[in-house]
Copies of this chain bind each other. A is one copy, B any other.
Amino acid sequence: MDWKPDFASETPLYLQIKAFIIHKISLGEWAVGTKIPSQRALAEQFGVNRSTVVTAISDLIAEGLLAGNTKGGTRVINNSWNLLTASPPPDWSSYVQAGTHYPNLPAIQHINRAEFQEGMIRLGTGELSPDLLPSERMKNIFAESSANPFTLGYEEPKGNLALRKQIAQYLQGNGIHTSSSNILIVSGALQALQLISMGLLQRGSAILLEKPSYLYSVHVFQSNSMKLVGLPMDEEGIQTSQIGRYKKGYNASILYTIPTFHNPTGTLMTEERRQALMQACTDEGLPIIEDDAYRELWFDEPPPLPLKARDPHALVLYLGTFSKTLSPGLRLGWVVAPEPVIERLADIKMQNDYGSSSVSQWAAAEWLGRGLYQEHLDEIRKQLKMRRDVAVQLLQTYFAGLAIWRVPAGGFYIWVQLTVDVPMQSLFERALKDGVLLNPGSIYNRHTGNYLRISYAYAKLHELEWGLKRVAILIRDLVGK
């Protein structure tokens, strides 16, 4: 949709637009059944008045190519070749509904799209701000010569060996002693979950997890006919007393946890709770997925050791990633697990995508091998701590009396509980209209309606201020205060 009418042409604009739409239909890009963009959206894209678009579409409706419906949507109902053949073209809309995989939650799809709207202030985005990403340094790494060769071929099934060795060494600093053969390189922690879902778990089994959890916002397990069973949290992390009962009651095959700077609550699991969790899972023979994406983002002191560092029975599948620290665009993470598990997951990864980008893997190995990653982490910690302080200050200024929250010791998120009764859907929509994108708590479990996940990692500081102030005004407005 990069086309615009030629304003210098003698052909009327509405005829140019008509010709463009016919072109899209005749090429099959807008196949029969496709809902075309709204009149408003088309007018914006073409840079014309809405009435010009209306004229073009009315013509095409009259000619039998489009049809409007009562809700104002317009669909393609025919194309010129249809008259020439006996059979109808494939009904792609029915194919789109047929697949086994769940679509993303509508709210998530909405957010995914809104994130790419120009000028949008993103108060919930779980990424580092673009100006915290080391683009210049990355360019230099590619430009400088290296002891390791740069390869454009496929990598080994488990991933680039130099990178796996670097990760094994790096993990020692976090108390995890492993070797390259126990590591699988994946395209981010989400892919690791996808591989575990496809490769290790049975249909019908359940996954225990924190309630709320990031995991509720994706369908990685549900699409393989598994269900999520939430365990309550307190300020020390997931509660462990019910694990045995839930395991038996729900046929749980694994427990998923984000012990360090939990997404979305920011909770840091204490040393005592970690020990209790390991004991409970050992007693039950229940394996654990430890998602440690945020570990390095501590502010005042390093968090307690990972669960994987206290795992003599190999209960823990350990996930890490560069997405939250160095670059989400690299699309790189890792799994640490017993060898038979790594081999199974590597085999499935080969069947899914033949491995992750060799260019990304090479770059990541350079960052680790040259000590640049640790340097970068030091800098990111400072920046994020400053951002957290600003966000907490802004909340105190604008949200006093409207909400409560805990101050996180690391990571990206403040889990803000509104203490006034606000219709969240209206708040989301009105904020969006004002150019502010929110992540409502319901994404992370439908029973947590009165929360917002506020991220201090992404928005610029003046956006954070403008956005939080604006949201506070909208809340007051909606509750009539």
Give the B-binding residues of A (Cβ under 8 A).
Answer: 1-3, 26-35, 79-82, 85-90, 92-93, 95-96, 98-104, 109, 112-113, 116, 127-128, 130, 133-135, 138-139, 142-143, 149-157, 165, 177-182, 187-188, 190-191, 194, 197-203, 218-220, 223-224, 253, 282-287, 311-315, 323, 326-331, 338-341, 344, 347-348, 350-360, 363
Contact = CB atoms under 8 A, between A and B. Distances in A.
Copy number in the complex reads: 2
Contacts of A331: 353-358
Contact of A344 (B26, B99, B165): B99
- By Cβ-Cβ distance, the 9 closest A-B pairs, closest first, are A329-B358, A28-B314, A142-B142, A152-B327, A357-B357, A89-B313, A143-B143, A101-B198, A31-B314
Contacts of A155: 329
Main secondary structure of the interface of A (DSSP, over half): loop
A329 to B, nearest CB: 3
Contact of A177 (B27, B151, B165, B188): B27
30 contacts: A1-B179, A2-B180, A27-B314, A28-B338, A31-B313, A33-B340, A34-B340, A80-B312, A81-B313, A85-B283, A88-B285, A90-B313, A90-B315, A92-B287, A92-B338, A95-B201, A96-B200, A98-B202, A98-B253, A99-B198, A101-B351, A104-B347, A127-B153, A130-B153, A152-B328, A154-B328, A187-B356, A187-B357, A330-B357, A359-B363
Contacts of A338: 28-31, 34, 92
A198 B100 contact: yes
Contacts of A153: 127-128, 130, 133, 327-329
Most chain B CB within 10 A, of A2, A331, A340, is at A331
A332 B462 CA distance: 37
Contacts of A351: 101-102, 104, 190, 194, 218-220, 223
Contacts of A198: 99-101, 223
Contact of A95 (B95, B98, B154, B287): B287
A358 B330 contact: yes
A253 B99 CA distance: 11
Contact of A199 (B96, B143, B201, B202): B96
Contacts of A26: 312
Contacts of A104: 347, 350-351
A149 B139 CA distance: 11
Contacts of A128: 153
Contact of A190 (B87, B284, B352): B352
B89 A314 contact: yes
A161 B223 CA distance: 29
